[in-house]
């Protein structure tokens, strides 16, 4: 049995158009002990390719983290087969708020074995990731974040919180989760051990680990939003609970965002007008992730700078020659970090302005 994809992007797009599926985008995670991640990875690939599951999945000895799309008519089979796995029986599945205008959130199934399902930079063997903080549902989250004795922290990266976040949240200007743990503790938590610490992220996986880590570090009143922004938005809509999230929820697939409220809180990184659509620079040797309005997109041909615009207009063989010698050329720039972006703000809110 073949356990990897061999088709090109163009072939995959044609294949899924011909299939004509309606897709359901799902995310889930579970921290658990997996003795042989490679065997587990191959098992998942084998059963999921039979029902055309697409997406990105990480498997490690500490558990599984998945962002996938499932054909709507196969969702019940997918759920039943997933729940047949003992440590995933009954696992919460976060269903996307909407699939937006994206034709295919994913084009292929990629399941990778990693050292960890969430890179954290931690090397403390006494740390128990399952000793997590208290989970809050949407109503409990709203009530506790109204308490003046609460610190609300966004555990996502700068480019995520820039387009959407909860009212009153601290949005650290960080690039990675591993960077956020020591940074947040040093800048915001020291001296505030008596406060309620409430954290949130996209689907819950980052907060699950962060809440356990800060409990391990001696903080007692640690809470996390159950199911993250995705579950919160669905629960608010279904139960008529007031929504405290403003803007877009950044997601890691071709949609790049789910609209939670109609507020546009970010700005085009090139002209400064209100905008919250993330794009990747059309120059493949740059591939910079940034926010671009429709007018700048048309004027710049989807590029982040005049230099990249000129390169992207060259014939393919010349562009390949310019990229030659670069390893992982699309990582030359960090997401949303470049001096070329004239209107990229520092989103971080000082704690003393929130208390």
The catalytic residue among 201, 281, 286, 308 is 201
Taking CA 163 as the corner, what is the angle to CA 240 and CA 167, rounded to the nearest 5 degrees? 50
| Number of neighbouring beta carbons within 10 Å of residue 177 | 19
328's CB contacts (< 8 A; 6+ apart) are: none
For residue 118, the surrounding DSSP H or E stretch is none
In which order are the strands placed within the sheet that holds 245-249?
164-166, 245-249, 258-259
Of 238, 184, 236, 235, the C-alpha closest to 206 is 184
- The two beta strands, 134-136 and 222-225, are parallel
What one-character DSSP code corresponds to residue 208?
H
Measured between alpha carbons, how far is residue 301 from residues 28, 275, 304, 327 in Å? 36, 17, 9, 25
157's CB contacts (< 8 A; 6+ apart) are: 174, 175, 176, 177, 180, 335
What one-character DSSP code corresponds to residue 88?
G
Annotated active-site residue 201? The verdict is yes
Tell me the three state secondary structure of residue 69.
strand
Provide the CB-side half-sphere exposure for 292 (13 A, CA): 24
Q: What span, in angstroms and rounded, lies between the C-alpha atoms of 93 and 230? A: 10
Q: What span, in angstroms and rounded, lies between the C-alpha atoms of 336 and 290? A: 5
Q: Which residues are catalytic?
A: 201
């Amino acid at each position: 049995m073949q356990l990897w994809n061999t088709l090109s992007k163009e072939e995959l797009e044609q294949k899924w158009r011909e299939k004509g599926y309606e897709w359901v985008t799902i995310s889930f995670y579970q921290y658990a002990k997996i003795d042989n991640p490679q065997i587990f990875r191959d098992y998942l690939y084998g059963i999921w390719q039979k029902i055309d599951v697409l997406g990105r999945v990480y498997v490690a000895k500490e558990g599984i983290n998945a962002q996938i799309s499932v054909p709507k008519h196969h969702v019940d089979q997918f759920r039943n087969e997933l729940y047949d796995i003992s440590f995933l029986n009954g696992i919460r599945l976060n269903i996307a708020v909407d699939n937006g205008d994206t034709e295919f959130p994913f084009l292929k199934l990629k399941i990778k074995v990693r050292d960890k399902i969430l890179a954290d930079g931690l090397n403390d063997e006494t740390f128990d990731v399952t000793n997590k903080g208290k989970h809050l549902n949407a109503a409990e989250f709203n009530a506790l974040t109204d308490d003046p004795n609460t610190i609300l922290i966004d555990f996502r990266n700068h480019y995520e919180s820039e387009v959407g976040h909860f009212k009153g949240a601290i949005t650290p200007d960080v690039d990675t989760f591993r960077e956020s743990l020591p940074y947040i503790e040093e800048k915001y938590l020291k001296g505030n051990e008596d406060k309620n610490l409430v954290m949130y992220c996209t689907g819950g996986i980052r907060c699950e680990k962060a809440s356990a880590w800060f409990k391990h570090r001696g903080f007692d009143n640690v809470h996390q939003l159950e199911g993250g922004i995705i579950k919160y938005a669905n629960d608010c809509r279904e139960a008529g609970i007031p929504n405290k999230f403003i803007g877009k929820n950044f997601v890691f697939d071709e949609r790049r965002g789910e609209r939670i409220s109609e507020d546009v809180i970010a700005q085009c990184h090139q002209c400064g007008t209100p905008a919250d659509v993330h794009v990747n620079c059309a120059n493949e040797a740059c591939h910079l992730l940034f926010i671009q309005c429709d007018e700048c997109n048309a004027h710049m041909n989807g590029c982040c700078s005049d230099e990249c615009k000129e390169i992207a207009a060259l014939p393919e063989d010349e562009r390949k020659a310019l990229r030659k010698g670069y390893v992982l050329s699309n990582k030359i720039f960090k997401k949303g970090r470049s001096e070329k972006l004239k209107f990229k703000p520092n989103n971080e809110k000082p704690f003393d302005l929130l208390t």
